[in-house]
Structure 1
Amino acid sequence: MTNNTPKIKGTHIRCKGKVEKNYEQVPHSIFRYLELGLISGNDLAVYIMLLKNDNNQKLYAYPTVNQLSIWTGINSRTVKAATKRLELVGLIRKEKAPGYANKNRYYVNLPHEKEVLEKLVPELKAKLDLKISKLEIEAEQDKQRLEVISTYGRDYKSY
């Protein structure tokens, strides 16, 4: 949040439960793509907007890059890069709209389930597992350090 961002009070309405607004359901397995580093947060924002605008009758989404840019708050160059990455990892298929030089059709695919995705990119899974194990070791070291501090106080090195 920058200094220019206005402070706004929240609605204090929970998103889950009996909410009477229109919400998009996002497949949980999309977050494994983030964890594995296959997509970025910007890519996820573009994917969600494409998913939101996927037309059930036509079976594709057709927003312009400028519309995606406005809806996501991401510049158009980054939106274009995001659609390329989403296409590369199989989350969307993009093709030119017939009769429109600067318009695309986006066919939005459901993400692979966690187990299937991990089999497709075992090297990324191994890298993530290593990162998780390092974080678990750090957490255990932090826990031990806090136990010592709570027992002896902040100057435990002098004991």
Structure 2
Amino acid sequence: MTNTPNIKGTHTRCKGNVEKNYEQVPHSIFRYLELGLISGNELALYVMLLKNDNKELGYAFPTTKQLTIWTGISEKTVKEAIKKLEIVGLIRKEKAPNYANKNRYYVFLPHEKEVLVKLVPQLKVKLDQRIMKLGLEAEQDRQRLEALNTHVRD
């Protein structure tokens, strides 16, 4: 973190006023992240494949090396992330005909929240438990702060 340069932002909002400068990402992809179906690396890879999806051809065709450069993820992690995205049904990878080392990536819309929860109810239960635990921790923190403030005032 100490090696991260301090960069002044553009202060231009992407949403609504910048044309052809951002990708629209389906909001339902974040439910996959929230439920633990995908990681942040897999989300980044999904977004990059979505960005490079060729509308005329119907698929994306970046190389693993390109994905590594574009996402900042190691080649091994890119390959693992591709497998994970296939497992959860967000992409399909197939070999490109006539090219030995080329792949095609078909990028699919994520399931909507209600459908996804029905497909993985056990993960919804785990999420609810995490939310409840965080809520209890927040309440305990609030009570400790209140007790501290009361002690300081007295």
TM-score range, shorter chain: over 0.9
Aligned residues: 154
CA distance in 2 between counterparts of 1:8 and 1:144 reads 39
Structure 2: segments with no counterpart, 5+ residues: none
What is aligned with 1:93? 92
TM-score (norm 1): 0.91
Task: Check whether the contact 2:14–2:21 (CA below 8 A) recurs between aligned residues.
Answer: no
Once the two structures are superposed, the pairs formed by residues 17-36 of structure 1 within 5 Å of their partners are 17-36=16-35
Task: Check whether the contact 2:35–2:127 (CA below 8 A) recurs between aligned residues.
Answer: yes
CA distance in 2 between counterparts of 1:98 and 1:69 reads 23
Question: Percent of aligned positions with the same letter in both sequences?
Answer: 75
Once the two structures are superposed, the pairs formed by residues 94-133 of structure 1 within 5 Å of their partners are 94-133=93-132
What is aligned with 1:84? 83
Structure 1: segments with no counterpart, 5+ residues: none
Deviates more, 1:61-70 or 1:144-153: 144-153
Once the two structures are superposed, the pairs formed by residues 3-82 of structure 1 within 5 Å of their partners are 3-82=2-81
Matched letter for residue 66 of structure 1: K
Shift of 1:75: 1.2
Matched letter for residue 100 of structure 1: Y
Shift of 1:21: 4.7
RMSD, aligned CA: 1.5
Deviations 1:128-147 (A, max 9, x none): 11010011111111112211
TM-score (norm 2): 0.94
CA distance in 2 between counterparts of 1:24 and 1:98 reads 29
What is aligned with 1:142? 141
